[in-house]
Amino acid sequence: MQTHEISRRFLTHFTNAGHTEVPSASLILDDPNLLFVNAGMVQFKPYFLGEAPPPYPRATSVQKCVRTGDIDEVGKTTRHNTFFQMAGNFSFGDYFKAEAIEHAWNLITGSQESGGYGFDPERIWVTVYLDDDEAFHLWQKIAGMPAERIQRRGVEDNFWSMGVPGPCGPCSEIYYDRGPEHGREGGPVVDEDRYLEIWNLVFMQNERGEGGAKKDYPILGELPAKNIDTGMGIERVAYLLQGVDNVYETDLVRPVITKAEEMSGRRYGAGNPVDDVRFRVIADHARSGVMLVGDGVTPGNEARGYVLRRLLRRIVRSVRLLGVTEPVLPEFAAVVRDTMGPSYPELVKDFPRIESVVRNEEETFLGTLASGLKIFDMAAGEIKSSGGSQLPGDKAFQLHDTYGFPIDLTLEMAAEKGLSVDEQGFRDLMAEQRARAKAAVKKTGHGDQTVYRDLLALGATEFTGYQELDTEAVVR
């Protein structure tokens, strides 16, 4: 079943059940806690928080999502994209637990002839929050789920909150058993690779107060009107229904791998696991890069632009490691346009702009890449031959400042050589440079404004800032 069809079936299932279909919001919403939209519920937050009356009692959507916090998993697990599509159904004080469970169950186990996904019910496992006996019993009653396939999990996994005072509540997640050849027996609590998480149902039934860490913030009581927020990963369902091994081999992602195979003359899945990770990273990042440019992000040193830069430059380096020396981003972007265009026609309309953004970014980076790599290789060689194990902060700073290597690219290159990086030293040098730029501006009253702006913005991000922002996430 094609990815597009999986989305369509989801929306049809829920519009047939009285939900209003709402288009995906942009990846960029004005939310101080979030760099990118990372869950379907983000555009509905004002309704959940009671800041605006919901225009409909129930809604359904397929939302574009970016999770930069998952970047290190990409290509290594079978299930993490930086860009993915989250299908969801939402109830604003309308239906609650029983109906949410029933809908999810009917859609995933309903036969493909009748519009469902046709998953074998025997292979489905679910989790519920520790003391959520109600959900436990509903799974038994509605789905006939045997007690041993319903697992209880604690706050970290199965209690959701928005990271601010307001609605919160237990959640229940649905997993598919990929079979004994993929890992250990014992359900998702034991092995999250064999048991693939496909859907998260959040039951917003409580209200949380101010303060405290996730584990011990006060729960004020029950909400007067209870809400439902769910998120199903379209790419994960596609990966199961298409009989492939991971999300990167699904119909909307794999074509970039194929393009990279053509360009490099190397084959994916030919027994070289290091190359295979690179192919998957390239395909994943090409798609997220293009989707971000499509929504108006341009590469730069500020928060969002920096994430984009990091994705695009990682592709450029990865593809070189597959032996390709010519520019690649415009061609990859065209493949993404062709796969994603049917669902996101703005990519087709806007392609000339998207292409020129990625082309410029690649040209800029190619201008410094070779010399940067030389500097890095020399430094790494010296460190190794003198018995050291750490790249000094000033090298990382030089690579960043003079050669445009995002710090995580340096981290990745160092790790490949078995080296660590003095990240603190790097950050100290960044801070010094910022202070110098600030002082220069004070002294002269102007200074080089562009440098100043970039540095300030970069300082605000501090390289891990986007991850922290991103993981203060919404659905959990």
Q: Which does 350 bind (CB under 5 to 8 A by kind): Mg ion, ligand ATP, none?
A: none
Q: Decide which of Mg ion, ligand ATP, none touches 285; Cβ closer than 5 to 8 Å per partner kind.
A: none
Nearer to ligand ATP, 247 or 303 (CB): 247
User: Any contact of residue 475 with ligand ATP (CB under 6 A)?
Assistant: yes
Taking CB under 5 A as the criterion, which residues in 185-224 touch Mg ion?
Answer: 197, 200
Residue 88 phi/psi, 5-degree rounding, is: -150, 155
Nearest Cα neighbor of 76 from 420, 412, 341, 378 is 412
As measured in angstroms, the least distance from the Cβ of 201 to ligand ATP is 9
Per CB under 6 A, which of residues 233..262 are in contact with ligand ATP? 233, 235-236, 247
**Least distance (Å) between residue 79 CB and Mg ion:** 9
Structural contact between residues 64 and 58, judged by C-beta atoms closer than 8 angstroms: no
**Does 70 engage in binding with ligand ATP (CB under 6 A)?**
yes
Q: 105-164: which residues touch ligand ATP (CB under 6 A)?
A: none
Stretch that binds ligand ATP, among 229-237, 251-259, 423-431, 432-440 (CB under 6 A): 229-237
DSSP of 434-457 = HHHHHHHHHHHS---HHHHHHHHH
Q: Does 161 bind Mg ion (CB under 5 A)?
A: no
Query: In terms of C-beta density within 10 A (0-12 exposed, 13-18 middle, 19 or more buried), how is residue 340 classed?
Result: buried
Question: Would you count residue 197 as binding ligand ATP (CB under 6 A)?
Answer: yes
Q: Which of residues 13-42 bind ligand ATP (CB under 6 A)?
A: none
Told to check if 151 binds Mg ion by CB under 5 A, we report no
Cβ neighbours around 32 below 10 Å, total:
5
DSSP conformation class of 46: H
Taking CB under 6 A as the binding criterion, the range among 77-85, 143-151, 313-321, 354-362 that sits at the site for ligand ATP is 77-85
Burial 260-282 (b: 16+ CB within 10 A, else e): bbebbebebeeeeeebbebbbbb
Residue 231 partner contact from ligand ATP, Mg ion, none using kind-dependent CB cut-offs of 5 to 8 Å: ligand ATP
Shortest distance (Å) from residue 175 CB to ligand ATP? 9
What residues have CB less than 8 Å from 272, skipping those under 6 apart? 266
- Three-state DSSP class for residue 316: helix
For 209-228, letters b (16+ CB in 10 Å) and e give eeeeeeeebeeeeebeebbb
End-to-end CA separation in angstroms for the chain: 27
Interacting span for ligand ATP (CB under 6 A) from 44-52, 80-88, 331-339, 411-419: 80-88
The residues that touch ligand ATP, with contacts defined as CB under 6 A, are 67, 70, 79-81, 84, 86, 197-200, 231-233, 235-236, 247, 475-476
The residues that touch Mg ion, with contacts defined as CB under 5 A, are 197, 200
